[in-house]
Amino acid sequence: MAETGHSDHAELGVFEEAWSIFTDPSHIMAELGWTVIQDVVLIWLLYGTLWKKVILPRLHDKFDKEHAIEHHDDHKS
C-alpha cells in the first residue's frame, strides 16, 4: 500500500531540503521572474510613473497653495 501525504524530500533534513530548493533551476527561474515583475511593475511603473509624475506634483501644488508659496525659479513652461 502506497503512503500518502509525503513529499519527495521527506527523508531529507531541513538544511538539505532548503539547499535542494535553493539550487533547483526551476525555483531559481521562478524567483527571477517574480523579481523582474516586482521591480518593473511595482517599482518602476507605479513609483516612477504614478507617484513621481502624478501624485507628488499634485501634493506639491496643494501644499504650495495652502502655504502661499511661490516658486520664482520654476523651470516649468
In this model, does residue 46 exceed pLDDT 70? yes
Distance CA 76, CA 28 (A): 46
Mean pLDDT for 55-76 is 86
- How far apart CA 41 and CA 47 sit, in angstroms, is 9
Q: Of all residues in the chain, what percent carry a pLDDT higher than 70?
A: 82
Q: Does residue 3 or residue 41 have the better pLDDT?
A: 41
CA-to-CA distance for 58 and 77, rounded, in angstroms?
A: 16
How does pLDDT run across 6-41, given as a tens digit for each residue? Answer: 556 568 899 999 999 999 999 999 999 999 988 888
Q: Where are the alpha helices (DSSP H) in 1-77?
A: 14-22, 25-37, 56-66
